[in-house]
Structure 1
Amino acid sequence: MDPGDFDRTRRRISRGFQGLPGRGELWFSPRPASGFPGDRRSTDVQEDSPLPEDFRRRLTRAFQWAIQRRASRRAQEAAEAAAALEEQSRARVEVAHAGLQAELVEMHFQNQQLARTLLDLNMKVQQLKKECELGFTSDSQ
């Protein structure tokens, strides 16, 4: 094998891999087929064709639908978050209400005890008054 054989083999291999990425040469994408809407180089599609307008309307409708759906989803998430916050605040209010109710029951119980104590003291004071009056009357006689 002489040095020229190596060079010829290398050229043959690189020629066989043309167009494959990472092999021999750079990858070039094929030209778009003629006749696609919006291909300004194609000559067989007319500019006033209804296809691009219909396509534009469909795309617009699809984007509007997606935006509305996203907005409604966000509104629904916001409503769910507001409902969760309201539920949390309602739970806090109920806990506070239960605590206040327990304190009121305790205060009512203490009030009844104080009322009994006052009545007992009043009865003792009345008894002492009677005893004092009896003691003064018996001393004075």
Structure 2
Amino acid sequence: MGPGDFRRCRERISQGLQGLPGRAELWFPPRPACDFFGDGRSTDIQEEALAASPLLEDLRRRLTRAFQWAVQRAISRRVQEAAAAAAAREEQSWTGVEATLARLRAELVEMHFQNHQLARTLLDLNMKVQQLKKEYELEITSDSQSPKDDAANPE
């Protein structure tokens, strides 16, 4: 086995990795396409990998479930936060509406009071106008009678 064999093995591994990054699931690198002859550990490593495969699969499933649970929990938390924010905005909106209604009620009470004051003032003015009319009529009648009285009583 020469130095070129090692380089070819690395090239095969790197070619097998292209196009895999960015996947949403867990990724396990492929096994090397070549063995390092002369190294007695390569068969031991393969046997350990085969024995560990169910463990790795179980670990992969557990991690996938944990990741999915974490994502769902994060989404659920975001939904709850959005709902809480919407409820807070709605509460603020209702608080604003209630405050506006309270101001309008206060203005209506004030306008009602002013309306009564204006009605009293108008009635008072009407009574004074009627009184002035009577006084004017009495004055006119008294003025019209006084020349007759002056002519009838020459002093």
TM-score by length of 2: 0.58
The amino acid of 2:117's aligned partner reads E
Count of aligned residue pairs for this structure pair? 104
Mapped partners of 2:127, 2:69: distance in 1: 85
- Equivalences for residues 36-55 of structure 1 within 5 A: 44=52, 45-46=56-57, 49-55=60-66
1:85 paired residue among 96, 99, 124: 96
Unpaired runs of at least 5, structure 2: 1-25, 30-48
Which has the larger share of helix?
2
1:128 paired residue among 139, 148, 155: 139
After superposition, the CA RMSD in angstroms is 2.8
Shift of 1:47: 8.9
Deviations 1:28-83 (A, max 9, x none): xxxxxxxxx99x9xx52149943332222211111100000011001101111111
Unpaired runs of at least 5, structure 1: 1-36
The amino acid of 1:125's aligned partner reads Y
Tell me the equivalent position of 1:57. Answer: 68
Percent same amino acid at aligned positions? 9
1:71 paired residue among 53, 59, 82: 82
Shift of 1:131: 0.8
Greater length-normalized contact order (CA 8 Å, ≥ 6 residues apart): 2
Are 1:105 and 2:116 an aligned pair?
A: yes
TM-score by length of 1: 0.63
The amino acid of 2:90's aligned partner reads A
